[in-house]
Amino acid sequence: MSAPQQELVFAPLGGVGEIGMNLSIYGFGDDRRRQWLAVDLGVSFAAEEHLPGIDLILPDIRYLEAERKNLAGLILTHAHEDHFGAIIDLWPRLKVPIYATPFSAALLAAKCANEPGAPKIPINVVPVGGRFKIGPFDIELVTMAHSIPESNALIIRTPAGNVLHTGDWKIDPTPILKDATDETKLRALGEEGCLALIGDSTNAVRDGRSPSEADVARSIADIIKNARRRVAVTTFASNVGRLRAVCDAAHAAGREVVLVGRAMDRVIGVARETGYFDGVSDLRGPDAYGYLPPDKVLALCTGSQGEPRAALARIAEDQHPDVTLSKGDLVIYSARTIPGNEKAVGRIINGLIEQGIEVITDRTHLVHVSGHPRRAEIEALIGWVRPRIVVPVHGEALHLNEHAAIARKCSVAQVIRCRNGDLVRLSGDPGIIDQVPAGRIYKDGVILVQADARTVADRRRLSFAGVISVALALTADGRLVADPEIDLVGIPERDRDGELMAEAVYDAVIETFEQLPRGRKRDPDSVAEAVRRGVRSAVAGRWGKKPMCHVHVLSV
Ligand SMILES: [Zn+2]
Ligand SMILES: [Zn+2]
């Protein structure tokens, strides 16, 4: 009997059909034993969904935990939260070697140092553009332009074929940090032969090519040069190229840069440590702000997503101890609003405008560009690499479909649309061959819970319709000992006819109870259930909503 064929498989465990939470695995071997490589371990932000009390959504890594002994390593493409934000919480369950380039490794270390109780995570630092082995996988990093330093595509070579995992990327011939997408290496992969391209779909609905970071830098520099009074700029703290462009523009206009916000401090510290801020003169702390004349200062602030505790929100509410803005000052919003944050961002912008502060956003000026490829860029990459298979990842259904359509238009032999948990065979006879467990975990306070945990569903119901508690004391022969205790939380005080809701509930309790025949029907469980139904239907009739209702029956 011949040995079973060694094959190459791929499964997304997050990031397909949703925003954020990127986690992919590659497997090499046969169906009796595969060795795995994990790529990225990201979060998504719960603000996008109605999940009261939940801050973060993490991928369910149950499958990786079960396969831990076959998991050779976890490699990070880059240090955005949607690719590395789940590591601190989930790494202790895997204890797998992590591979990252210097900037991503340093940012992860800085994040751990900032988080009380974070585990000590050993990181294997690999060089930008480097080639090394992780288990049976021969990995080569390809520099890609993006909105953070060191975004790496991965060439994953195996005896069953080569894969290009793009990570997040765009084609920017003139990036601020000179980290242009390595077209030469990608074309060489095309010559060598590429079985499959697993690629970023985020901007596949947008025509043409993205503008360059250099265009944004010029536009921001013009605005700053012409400003007469104080200027504040907010952007994503991790966009080191943008931070650098803003600092250069400020210095060219004779302004000192004041850093406001811890995330900004942390990233710039890491950028200095890794050489991405070489040549930028020293920046000032918030305490310097008050001493500098209005036309000699620029505040670089966190809070572009409307985060209530971040610098910009506090400045807008005049709650910041050091930094103030007033009529005639200027705020540049050098960021896109992530879906789910529109209201929070809108509140801050409107608050600033009402105080007479001018606000410039990307709606009217070129003060921000995305770090993801538009359609012409995706076409160019496919042309360079000429993969046999394209698998769209990193996006919602619409983005994945558009990416698939572009690949078909480029005459790619096979386009595979998959979902989280689909096991896709890339070598031999390609296609979806199996399912592995995938899903979501919520971070609830400091606890990780399954996404189907009842607590979260209960909290959502409570937030829509409140809760009613009823306590009854019964004698052994089924008589009420005293008046029922009733408590309403989150319920309107009066119904639409002006009747007190508490009285309606009281009447419903008594009425329901009295209709129950004596004897067996008055055992505590039957009473509780009957009263619960009676109360809910009485309130629904008066309010149009069914609250939660808890009935406690005490036998005395
Ligand atoms: Zn991403
Ligand atoms: Zn990214």
Tell me the three state secondary structure of residue 537: helix
Task: Give 79 Cα–ligand 1 centroid separation in angstroms.
Answer: 9
Strand pairing partners for 75? Answer: 39, 99
Residue that the structure tokens 């595509």 belong to:
153
* The pLDDT value given to residue 45: 82
Check if the beta carbon of residue 86 is closer than 8 Å to that of residue 43: yes
Residue 454's CB: how many other CB atoms inside 10 A?
Answer: 9
Does the model's pTM come out above 0.95?
Answer: no
By the 10 Å C-beta count (0-12 exposed, 13-18 middle, 19+ buried), 548 is classed as middle
Interval between CA 397 and ligand 1 midpoint (Å) = 15
Among 258, 244, 263, smallest CA distance to 304 is for 263
How far, in Å, is the centroid of ligand 1 from the Cα of 82? 5
Contact 79, 238 (CB under 8 A): yes
d(CA 473, CA 464): 30
- Give the burial class of 549: count Cβ atoms within 10 A of its Cβ; 0-12 exposed, 13-18 middle, 19 or more buried: buried
pLDDT in tens, 89-107: 999 999 999 999 999 999 9
461's tokens: 């119901």
Report the separation in Å between the CA atom of 18 and the middle of ligand 2, taken as the mean of its atom positions: 15
Name the pLDDT band for 272 (thresholds 50, 70, 90). Answer: very high
pLDDT-based confidence at 520, cuts 50/70/90?
A: low
State the SS3 of 307-367. Answer: CCCCHHHHHHCCCCCCCCCCCCCEEEECCCCCCCCHHHHHHHHHHHHHCCCEEECCCCCCC
Burial 275-302 (b: 16+ CB within 10 A, else e): ebbeebeebbebeebeebeeeebbbbbb
pLDDT of residue 138: 98
Distance 168 CA to ligand 1 centre (A): 5
CA of 450 to the centre of ligand 2 (A): 26
pLDDT confidence of 19, banded at 50, 70, 90? Answer: confident
Mean pLDDT for the stretch of residues 278-283: 93
CA–CA distances in Å: residue 388 to residues 129, 195, 410, 421, 429: 24, 5, 11, 22, 12
**442-457 pLDDT per residue, tens:** 999 999 999 888 888 8
The Å distance, Cα 314 to ligand 2 centre, comes to 27
Task: Write out pLDDT tens, residues 167-189.
Answer: 999 999 999 999 999 999 999 99
Q: Check residue 17 and give its pLDDT.
A: 93
Angle formed at CA 243 by CA 240 and CA 245, multiple of 5 degrees? 110
Partners of 156 in beta bridges: 139, 163
For residue 470, the cross-strand partners are 486, 551
